[in-house]
Amino acid sequence: MRILVTGGAGFIGSNLVFSLLSGGHQVGIIDDLSTGSMANLHPAAWFRGLDITDPGLQDAVADFRPEVVVHLAAQSSITVSQRDPERDRLVNIEGTRAVARAAAVAGARRVLSASSAAVYGTPVSLPVGEADPKVPENPYGHSKLAAEQALADELRPVGVDFASLRFANVYGPRQDPHGEGGVVAIFCGRMAAGEAPVVFGEGTQTRDFIFVGDIVLALIEAADTDVTLALPGDDGSAYNISTGDETSVEMLIQHLRSPAGYFGPVEHAPAREGDVARSVLDPTKAQEVFGWHSRVSLEAGLARTAAWFAQNR
């Protein structure tokens, strides 16, 4: 297949690109390198350095002629979203609209767009299913939910298949240890440097941690499936991509100690206002519709991640 990846120089995108190329696919990348890295670019991939809101996007997508577009480019910092919600609207909503429109004009048969567990806000019950209430608690979550609608508005009328994949808490090699959203990367970075990991609150808050390799597999299987992903209904095109396992931050540190080789103290800071206490997503729909399920255990994923950070510190 000819697959175009927006954000292909980023954490998830670069892992996806390397896997696609090793599988014999032709891969294109569009990335403005604002958060992605030149070091993450595979030399065998077609590349265009471009912001997805740039007027030249449609021509760039047409030049590559993708069969499938995987849209990962986004403004993903919650801090930035709170400081500049207009930036979230422009990149996450209007950028998604522009990518969808360009994909349709270029003749793509399917568009897969990265969404987030942030669209749910504080869960009413666990695990969270796709049709459960969606009450985002920050501009980032609102923008990702609106981006799902923008994708549907652009592609359903013209008959291009699409899906919004709501990722749980993704971790793995190449994640930025200096960012705000990747707690595994932050812990691994500090542990690799012999520094104490910092836990906000008591560490009892839970998340659904999923290894980036499982995210990559979900994207590849969704791209390759013969079934229609854009099912009827408000959440018909939404899919939770998660393990379905709930892990506390305190347990995460215990699992990381041995592979990271860190047995020192843990520092605690005050709990962050608005931090969701518990979160775990139900991935059953992805299994039933296109056959995907997570394969990498938390222990195995953390070991691979800690090893990468130890080698690349």
d(CA 203, CA 268): 8
d(CA 128, CA 222): 21
Bridge partners for 165 per DSSP = 114, 239
Residue type, 273: E
d(CA 122, CA 100): 29
d(CA 228, CA 169): 26
Tokens linked to 206: 């839970």
DSSP of 168-216: -EEE-TT--TTSSS-HHHHHHHHHHTTPPPEEETTS--EE-EEEHHHHH
Pairing of strands 68-71, 110-116: parallel
Catalytic site residue 239? no
Write down the catalytic residue from 140, 171, 239, 262. 140
The CA–CA distances, whole Å, from 83 to 11, 26, 137, 183, 194 equal 23, 38, 14, 21, 33
d(CA 206, CA 253): 12
The CA–CA distances, whole Å, from 165 to 55, 71, 162, 216 equal 26, 10, 10, 12
DSSP one-letter code for 11: H
Tokens linked to 109: 């048969």
Sole residue written with tokens 């760039």 = 60
Tokens linked to 276: 């969701």
DSSP one-letter code for 166: E
45 backbone dihedrals φ, ψ, rounded to 5°: -90, 140
Catalytic positions: 140
